[in-house]
Structure 1
Amino acid sequence: MASLSAAQAGAYPCGVEGSARVADGGVGAALRRLRTAAGLTQEGLAQRAGLSVRAVSDTERGLRTRLYPGTTARLAEALGLTGPDRERFAAVAHGVPASQGSVSTLVPLPRPASALVGRESDLAGLVGLLTGPDARLVTLTGPGGVGKTRLALAAAAACAASFPEGAAFVQLAGCRDTQAAGLAVATAVGANPAHGTVADLVCEAIGTRRMLVVCDTFEGVLEAAAILSEALRRCPGVVFLATSRSPLRLVAERLVRVGPLDAAAAAQLFRARAATVRPGVDLSAAEPLIADICECVQRIPLALELAAARVAHLQLADLRDRLSAQLGVLTGGPVDDDERHRTLEATVAWSSGLLDDAGREALAHLSVFDGWTLAGAAAALGRDPLPAVSALVDQSLAFVPDPAAAHGRYRMLDAVREFGSARLAAAGALGEARDRHADWFLAGAEASAGAMRHAGQREAHREAAADLGNLRLAFRHFEDSRRGTDALRLATALWMFWLWQGGFSEGRAWFRAALAATQGAAVRDADPSLAARARWGAGWLAYHQGDWAEARVHAAELARLAEGSEDTVEQRSALTLRGMLALADRRLPDAAHLLAEALAAARRLVPADPWILAVSTLNDGAGLTHTGWLDAAARRFAEARDLFAGLGDETYRARALRHLAAVRLLTGELASAERLLEESLAAETDAADQWGLAETLSGMAHAAASAHDARRAGALEARAGVVRHGLGVAQHPFDAILAERHLGPLRGSEEFMAGWAEGREEGGLVPAITPQ
C-alpha cells in the first residue's frame, strides 16, 4: 500500500539534506526501508522496540508522520542506528524529511542557475546576522540587478542547520497590494487563508517553529510589512530575510546594503561567466581590459553577466569600446536617479540593441509573461518563437528552463521585464500585448477545465499551477481593462483548479470581483451558460468552506437561471447545489429527493456527459445513504466508482470508494470498509489529493470507532481536521453526519481525547482546532 507523504498528512516539513539510508517519503517510508534493510518483519521490530505492531504498521503506512521522542529512541535502538544515521532518523521522525526532494507544505528555496561569485565576505556577514541571537528581520537593500536575491538564497542555504524547521521562499514581484502579498506569504509557509485574517493564518502556520522565511522583491508592497511585524510579535522562532530596494521600516529590521562588487570580485565574476560562453578561452593576459569593462558597467552583477555574454561574439577590446560608447549615450537619465540603476538600464538597452528586429520584438512582447512556454511565445509573436527565444537566451536576457523540469518556463529577470514593458508602453503597444497574453491564458484555462475531470487530470492541474502567475496577471488585466465577462470566464474555468490547489479564498475573491463587474443580463446575452456556470463554481467554493449563506445566494441565482432555461445541465446543477445545501441543513428527505431529480436530469442529457452522470450518481448515493436506503446507496457508489474509473478520474474514483466504505460500516461490514478505505488512500497518495486524504482519514476514524478503538479514532479524526484546516475547507456534510453517528458517543472520553491530542501533534501541531 502507498504511504503518505508528510505534506499530505498535514505536517510542516522543510528541506534538509539526508543520507541514502534515510531517504525521501517521510518517517513511514524511512522506517519501512530501515526495517527491511535490517531483515525484520513489522512484528519483529515491534517486539524489539517494545511497541505494538499497530504502531509500526500505522507509521509505515503514513498514518503517523511524527513520533514521540521515546518512540523514536526505541525504534532507533531496535534498528541499530548510531551516529549521523540515528540523528537523521530522529529528524525525520520529528517531521523533518530527509531530502530536498520530499514533498513540503513550505514553498522551497529556488535553485540558483549558477554559483555565487565574489560575495564571500558579504555572505559570511549575512549568515552571521541571520544566525545571531537577536536576528528577527534582515533586509537586503540596493538597486535592481545588484544581486540581492542571489545573495539571500546563498545565505539561506548556508545557514540551513540553524533552522531545523526549514526555509520558505516568497516571491512578491507579482503582488500589487497587501492582500495579494499576504496570500503569497501564507501559501509559502503552509497556510491557506480561508478564515480570519491573513496575518492570523500566517502566524498560526508558523507557530513556534524555528524557521527562515525569505521574502523577495518587497519594494512593491511595503505596506504588507505589517504582516511580518505581526508574525515577529507572535512567532518567537521565525526569522525573515527580505530583499527590497527600500527599507521595510520595522523596529526589528537590520538593514544590509548590497552594493556593486569590488574590483577583484567583479573581474572574477566576469571571467567566470565569460568562460561559460567561450569555454577554454584564456583571459589571463587581459586583466586591464577586464578591469575597464567592469568599470564601464560599474561592477553591477547583472550588468557584468550581460556584458560577459558578449564574449561569445566580440573581442574584449571591442566589447570595452562599445560599452563605453553606448553607456555614455544611455546614462543621461535624471540626475537624482540612482547612477547604478541608470547604468543597469543602459546595459540591458545595449544588450537589446545587439538583437535583430525579431529578437527585440520578442524581448518586448514576452516581458508581459511571468514565464513562458514556446507555445505561449508563439501565441504572443504570431510565428515560430524558437530563433528569437534562443537569441534572448544567448544574450543572457532570458533563462532556459531546467531540461528535466516537467513544467519549466523560460524566464526573464525583473529588470529585463521592466525594460521590455517600458519599451512596449513607449510604443503604445503595451495594452495590445497584455490583451494577447490574457486571451492566451483564458483559452488555455477553458481548454483545461474539461481535462481536470478525466485521465491526465493531475497533469492538467500541475500545468495550471505552473502558470498561476500568468493566470493572475490575466485576471488583473481583465479587471483593469473592464473586461468583466472575460474575468468571469477565467474564474469559472478555474474553479475545479482552486478546489484541487486549496486556493478557495483566492478563487472566491475572483468570483466576487468578476460577478460585481458584470451585469447578469449582459453576461447571459454574451454567453447563455456562463452566468449559470459561474454561480455553480462560486457556489461550490463557498460550500466547501462551510459558508452556507453565500452558497445559498449562488444556489438561488442558479435556480432562477435554470428555471428560465431549457438547458438540462443547468437544471441538473441547480438541483444538485440545492440538494447538497439541504444535506448541510440536515433536511435529509429533501436532499435525497433533489439529488435523485438531479440524477434523472443527468440521464436525460443528449449527448450524454459521462462525468456529470458519474457525479450525479455519486450524489444520489449520498442522499440514499442518509435516508436509510443502504443497499441502493451501495449500488450507486459502486456504479459511480466504475464510471470514474472508465474516465480515468482517480480523484473522484477515490471519493466513490470512500462513500462505499461508509455504507459498509453502516451495514456492519468492517473488514470490507477498511479494504475500501485503503484502496482510496492509495489513489489519493498517487494523485497528491490532500482534500480526499482528509475525508479518508475521517472514514478511517469512523472504522476505528466501529472497532471500539476510541484512541485511534480520536487520533485519525484530529489528523483529518489538521489537513482540512490547512486547506481551508469545512468537513463535507456527508461525512459530518456520519461523524455524529460514529464519533459522537466517544467525544469527551479520556481515550478519544488522548488520541486527539496525539493526532494533532503528529499532524503538525495546529493549536486552533478542537473536536467538533
Structure 2
Amino acid sequence: MTATIPFGRWLQQQRKKLDLTQAELAQQAGCALGTLRNIETGSARPSKQLAARLAMVLGGEQEQVAAIVAFARGTGPAPAVLPAANARHGAPTHLTGMIGRERELAELRGMLLRPDVRLVTLTGPGGTGKTRVAVESIALLESSFPGGVWFVDLAPVSDPALVLAAIAQAVALPRGAGPLLAQLAEALRGDAALLLLDNFEQVVDGGADVAALLGACPRLKALTTSRIALGLMGEHELPIPPLGLPDRARLPPLPQLTQYEAIRLFRARARAARPSFEITAENAAAVAEICYQLDGLPLAIELAAARIKLFPPQALLAKLDRRLAFLTGGRDRPSRQQTIRSTIEWSYRLLAPDERRMFQKIGVFSGGATLDMIAEVCAEPQAQVDAIVFALVSHSLLYVLPPRSDSPEINPRIGMLETIREFALERLDAGDESAPTRRRHARAYAAMVRQGQPQLLGPEQAAWLRRLNIEHDNIRVALAWLLRDDAAQALAMAGELADFWKVRSLFEEGRRWLDAALEASVALPLDRTRIHALHGALMMAVDQADVPRATDLAEQHVAAARALGDPRYLAESLAEMAQLAYTVGRLDRAEELFREALADFRALGNRERVANMLLNIGRIVGVHRCDAAVATPLLSESLAIYEQIGYPLGVAMASLCLASTAIHTGDIAQVQRLGRQALGLAWELGNQVQIAFNLTTQAVVSIHAGDPAQAARFYAAAEAIFSAVAMPLSPSEQATHDRWRAEVVAALDGRQAAAAWAEGGSAPLAQIVAEALGHSQQRTARG
C-alpha cells in the first residue's frame, strides 16, 4: 500500500497523525496555505527545499529526510515506516578513546561555564576533530546543565530555515500551534540547558534564528561546530588546530616523541589495525614525517594509520605523494568524512565562484605567502584579494600563520595546509589557469631571489637570509616549475641561490638544484649565467668533499672562465681548487693556491674575496699548524675587512678562526669571547656549519673550566649538525676534533659520557646554543 500511495495523501496522513491543521503545518514549513492544499490534493509537487522543510516539521529522522524528499519529488518510494514524532537525540558515541586535546577541552569547559558566554563556536578545517572535542566536552559538562544537553546534527540540513526545525526534532518538541521559535523558547526557558549544534557551516545563515532563541531563553547556551564562524554578536570562537607535532628538523628521543598528540594518535589507531605495531628507533622518523605530511589532521592520521595493516611506516610515507587518492576508509563515518577529498570538498562547495577561483590559485604557494604576493601571483586587485582571503580564512581553508621571531614582517602571512593544498592544485590543474598562475609565481620568486642575491654578501645579509629562508618552500616550487618551463631562468635562479644554500649549509639540496639546472640548460650558449651556476655547483661539491665531481666542475669552470676572458672567475677557480686541496688534507698545496688567489683578488680589488683568502691561509697556519704568531695578523686583517664591508658571516668565520688559534696560546678568555661573538652571529644567520664549529670551540672552554659534561653536550650537538648537513670534516679538522673529543671522554666515566652525549644530541639546538653563549648561566644567576 505504501509503495503506491501518492505523496499528497501520505502528507495528509502524517499531518493528521500529529493533530496539525493545514494552516499550522503551512506556517511551520514556511509556505502558503494554498500551496499546501495543492500538494495534498496532488495538483502540485513541492520543491526540494519545501519537501525537506515538511519532512523536518513532521518529525522525519535526519537520515530519512533525503528519502522523503525523493518520494515527494517522484524519484523514490514512500518510506517503509512512516516517521513519527522524534525521540530525544543524544550525542554520538565513539568506539575509540580520545587522544590529546586536554588544552582545548579545558579552555572550552571554562568558556561554557562563564556566565557571560552564551554562544561558543568551535572552528577549524574539516578533519581536525571539532565534533569529537564538542562531544567530549558535553560529557564533562552534563551535570552543569540540569535542563538538558541536546545534540543537533545539522549535516543533513541544507536550508538555513530548517535549523529551528532540527532543534525541535532533537529536543523532541511536541507539535503545537504558533511559530516554532516561540514553541522552542517556551520549552527551553526553564533550567540551564545546552544545545550542541554540529556542522553549522552549510546553514550559517540560520545563525540568526539561534541568536533569537538564545535571546528568548536566558539560561540556554549553544555550542556549535563549524568550519565558518557564525558572525553573531556575543559569539566566542575557539579554533581547534591540528594535533601537536615535534620539531621536524630535530626529532626528540623516542620516549619524548611518542608523547606528542599526533604521534600518539597514529600509534593508537595503527595498533587497532595491527596489534603488534610499535614505534621504534627504525620507524620513528617515518611516523613523524607521515604526521607532518598530513598536517597533524586527526582524520587524515586515522585513515593513514589504518593502512599500517598492509604498509609499514616507510612504505606508507612513500604513498603520501598522492594523499587525497590514498586516504580513504572509515565506513562508519559520515560520507563527507570517509575520504580526505570528500572532507575538503564539503568546504569547497560552500564557496562562491570567485572564492573557488582564488582558492585554487593560492594553492601554488607553499609555506605561505604575504597578501601582496598573493595579489601579484593571482593577478587580482589587492582589495579583492584581501576580501576573498578573509572569506577563505573564515571557511578554515586558509589560516593566518603566527608571527615569526626571525622576521620583522608586520603584514599577515597566509598559509594553507598541505592536504588542502593538494586539493586546490587538483582543481587548478583541471582548468585553464594553471600554467599562467604557476608562471607568475615562478617569475615573482625568481625576481625576489635576483634582488636578494647581491645583498647576501653585505650588511643586509642577515635580513635577506631570513627573507629567503621564510620563502624557501615557494622558491623550491618556483625552481621546479622553471626547470620544466624556462631552463635559462632556472639556471639563473639556481646560480643566484648558491650563496644562500652555502650560508644555510644546505649543500645536498643546493647541489641537486644546480646540477638539474646545468643539465636542463646544456644546449644554451655559454654566458656568465652558466659560469655563475658552475661556480655554485663547484662550491657545493668541494664542501662535501666530492673530489671527482669537484674536479670535473673545476675543469668546466676554468674552461668557461677562459672562454669568456673573465679574470674574476679564473681567480674563483683557483680559490675553489685551493679549498678542495684543503678538504682532502693537502694543506701545503692549499696554502700555495690560496696565496695565488689572494694576489689575483687584490689585483681585482675584490675586498670580500681578499678577506676570505686571508681567512683560509690564517686557518691553515693558526688552527692546524698552531703558529699563532703568523696566523693572527692574517686573521685580524681578514676580520677588519669583513667588519668594514659589513659582512656578518665573514666576521663570524674570522672570529672563530681567531678563537681557535687562541686555544694554542692558552688564552681561554679570548677563546670564549671571540667564540661567543662568532656563535651569536652564526646563530642569527642560521649557518649550521659555523654553529657546529663554534660549539666545538666552546667545548674546549668547558674542558678548561672543569665541566666535561657540558663539553660533551656541545660536541654531541656539533656532531649531529655535521651529520645532518652531510658535510665531512677535512682530515686536519677531524684530527683536531678527535683530539679535543678524547679529552672530554677521558674526563668522564662511561655512563656520564653516554648520558651527556645523548642529551646534547637530542636537546633543542636553541637550548644548546643558549648554554654555549652563557645565557642559561645568566638566568640561573638571576634566580
TM-score of the pair, normalised by structure 2: 0.54
Deviates most, 454-463 or 700-709: 700-709
> What is the rounded CA distance, in whole Å, between the counterparts of 1:668 and 1:340 in structure 2?
63
1:549-628 alignment runs, 5 A limit: 549-605=548-604, 608-625=605-622, 626=624
Contact 2:703 2:711 in 1 (8 A): yes
> What is the rounded CA distance, in whole Å, between the counterparts of 1:341 and 1:381 in structure 2?
24
Corresponding letter in the other structure for 1:478: L
CA displacement, residues 174-220 of structure 1 (integer Å, 9 cap, x when unaligned) = xxxxxxxxxxxxxx2526xxxxxxxxxxxx9758853447489x9xx
> What is the rounded CA distance, in whole Å, between the counterparts of 2:722 and 2:684 in structure 1?
19
Distance 1:513 1:755, change over 3 A: farther
Task: Name which of 648, 651, 660 aligns with 2:649.
Answer: 651
> What is the rounded CA distance, in whole Å, between the counterparts of 1:256 and 1:425 in structure 2?
22
Tell me the CA shift for residue 739 of structure 1. Answer: 3.8
Task: Name which of 693, 696, 700 aligns with 2:694.
Answer: 696
TM-score of the pair, normalised by structure 1: 0.55
Distance 1:754 1:640, change over 3 A: farther
> What is the rounded CA distance, in whole Å, between the counterparts of 1:640 and 1:531 in structure 2?
30
Tell me the CA shift for residue 763 of structure 1. Answer: 0.5
Aligned to 2:307: 249
Distance 1:627 1:560, change over 3 A: farther
> What is the rounded CA distance, in whole Å, between the counterparts of 1:599 and 1:239 in structure 2?
50
Aligned to 1:49: none
1:660-739 alignment runs, 5 A limit: 660-702=658-700, 716-731=714-729, 735-736=733-734, 738-739=736-737
1:410-489 alignment runs, 5 A limit: 410-412=414-416, 421=425, 424-425=428-429, 427-481=431-485, 483-489=486-492
Alignment partner of 1:634 is 2:632: yes
Tell me the CA shift for residue 656 of structure 1. Answer: 0.7
Distance 1:547 1:763, change over 3 A: farther
Aligned to 2:776: none
What is the DSSP-based 3-state SS (H/G/I as helix, E as strand, rest coil) of the residue aligned with 1:462?
A: helix
Tell me the CA shift for residue 452 of structure 1. Answer: 2.7
Higher relative contact order (CA 8 A, sep 6+): 1
Name structure 2 gaps, 5 residues minimum.
Answer: 1-102, 104-121, 139-200, 203-224, 229-237, 267-272, 295-299, 313-326, 764-783
Contact 1:710 1:752 in 2 (8 A): no
Distance 1:540 1:703, change over 3 A: farther
Corresponding letter in the other structure for 2:542: Y
1:265-304 alignment runs, 5 A limit: none
Contact 2:329 2:339 in 1 (8 A): no
Distance 1:630 1:403, change over 3 A: closer
Tell me the CA shift for residue 537 of structure 1. Answer: 2.2
What is the DSSP-based 3-state SS (H/G/I as helix, E as strand, rest coil) of the residue aligned with 1:410?
A: strand
Contact 2:558 2:570 in 1 (8 A): yes
> What is the rounded CA distance, in whole Å, between the counterparts of 1:450 and 1:583 in structure 2?
27
Aligned to 1:496: 499
What is the DSSP-based 3-state SS (H/G/I as helix, E as strand, rest coil) of the residue aligned with 1:564?
A: helix
What is the DSSP-based 3-state SS (H/G/I as helix, E as strand, rest coil) of the residue aligned with 2:761?
A: coil
1:11-410 alignment runs, 5 A limit: 117-120=130-133, 156-157=243-244, 167-168=245-246, 188=248, 190=250, 209-212=257-260, 214=262, 232=280, 234=282, 243=300, 249-251=307-309, 345=345, 348=348, 351-353=351-353, 355=354, 362-370=358-366, 371-382=368-379, 384-394=381-391, 396=394, 399=398, 401=400, 404-405=403-404, 406=407, 408-410=412-414
Tell me the CA shift for residue 596 of structure 1. Answer: 1.2
Tell me the CA shift for residue 434 of structure 1. Answer: 1.1
Tell me the CA shift for residue 441 of structure 1. Answer: 1.2
Distance 1:684 1:247, change over 3 A: closer
Distance 1:567 1:756, change over 3 A: farther
CA displacement, residues 532-579 of structure 1 (integer Å, 9 cap, x when unaligned) = 322332233333344444333333332333343422331222111111
Contact 1:211 1:237 in 2 (8 A): no
> What is the rounded CA distance, in whole Å, between the counterparts of 1:492 and 1:394 in structure 2?
39
Tell me the CA shift for residue 474 of structure 1. Answer: 1.6
Tell me the CA shift for residue 693 of structure 1. Answer: 2.3
Distance 1:389 1:637, change over 3 A: same
> What is the rounded CA distance, in whole Å, between the counterparts of 1:148 and 1:544 in structure 2?
52
Corresponding letter in the other structure for 2:133: E
> What is the rounded CA distance, in whole Å, between the counterparts of 2:328 and 2:531 in structure 1?
54
Tell me the CA shift for residue 124 of structure 1. Answer: 8.7
What is the DSSP-based 3-state SS (H/G/I as helix, E as strand, rest coil) of the residue aligned with 1:604?
A: helix
Distance 1:504 1:401, change over 3 A: same
> What is the rounded CA distance, in whole Å, between the counterparts of 2:340 and 2:528 in structure 1?
54
Tell me the CA shift for residue 594 of structure 1. Answer: 0.8
> What is the rounded CA distance, in whole Å, between the counterparts of 2:414 and 2:721 in structure 1?
34
Aligned to 1:534: 533
Corresponding letter in the other structure for 1:615: N
- Percent identity between matched residues is 22
Corresponding letter in the other structure for 1:515: L
Corresponding letter in the other structure for 2:734: A
What is the DSSP-based 3-state SS (H/G/I as helix, E as strand, rest coil) of the residue aligned with 2:649?
A: helix
CA displacement, residues 448-491 of structure 1 (integer Å, 9 cap, x when unaligned) = 2232333343332232232222222222222344x333333333
Task: Name which of 513, 516, 534 aligns with 1:513.
Answer: 516
Contact 2:535 2:557 in 1 (8 A): yes
Structure number with larger C-alpha Rg: 2
Tell me the CA shift for residue 593 of structure 1. Answer: 1.2
CA displacement, residues 575-633 of structure 1 (integer Å, 9 cap, x when unaligned) = 1111111112322221111111222222233xx44433332332232344356764342
> What is the rounded CA distance, in whole Å, between the counterparts of 1:505 and 1:148 in structure 2?
44
What is the DSSP-based 3-state SS (H/G/I as helix, E as strand, rest coil) of the residue aligned with 1:455?
A: coil
CA displacement, residues 328-366 of structure 1 (integer Å, 9 cap, x when unaligned) = xxxxxxxxxx8996796486356233x4xxx67644543
Distance 1:743 1:692, change over 3 A: same
Deviates most, 112-121 or 722-731: 112-121
Contact 2:374 2:385 in 1 (8 A): no
> What is the rounded CA distance, in whole Å, between the counterparts of 2:362 and 2:471 in structure 1?
14
> What is the rounded CA distance, in whole Å, between the counterparts of 2:262 and 2:565 in structure 1?
54
What is the DSSP-based 3-state SS (H/G/I as helix, E as strand, rest coil) of the residue aligned with 2:439?
A: helix
Deviates most, 595-604 or 403-412: 403-412
What is the DSSP-based 3-state SS (H/G/I as helix, E as strand, rest coil) of the residue aligned with 1:351?
A: coil
> What is the rounded CA distance, in whole Å, between the counterparts of 2:383 and 2:593 in structure 1?
54
> What is the rounded CA distance, in whole Å, between the counterparts of 1:343 and 1:152 in structure 2?
18
> What is the rounded CA distance, in whole Å, between the counterparts of 1:599 and 1:664 in structure 2?
24
Tell me the CA shift for residue 695 of structure 1. Answer: 0.7
Contact 1:701 1:713 in 2 (8 A): yes
Distance 1:206 1:755, change over 3 A: closer
What is the DSSP-based 3-state SS (H/G/I as helix, E as strand, rest coil) of the residue aligned with 2:369?
A: coil
Contact 1:715 1:755 in 2 (8 A): no
Contact 1:714 1:755 in 2 (8 A): no
Corresponding letter in the other structure for 2:250: G
Distance 1:690 1:230, change over 3 A: farther
Corresponding letter in the other structure for 2:675: L
> What is the rounded CA distance, in whole Å, between the counterparts of 1:603 and 1:414 in structure 2?
50
Corresponding letter in the other structure for 1:651: L
How large is the Cα RMSD of the aligned pairs? 5.1
Distance 1:352 1:569, change over 3 A: farther
Name structure 1 gaps, 5 residues minimum.
Answer: 1-98, 100-110, 126-144, 158-166, 170-187, 192-203, 219-224, 263-297, 302-337, 767-772
> What is the rounded CA distance, in whole Å, between the counterparts of 1:540 and 1:123 in structure 2?
57
Tell me the CA shift for residue 641 of structure 1. Answer: 1.7
> What is the rounded CA distance, in whole Å, between the counterparts of 1:702 and 1:651 in structure 2?
22
> What is the rounded CA distance, in whole Å, between the counterparts of 1:426 and 1:116 in structure 2?
30
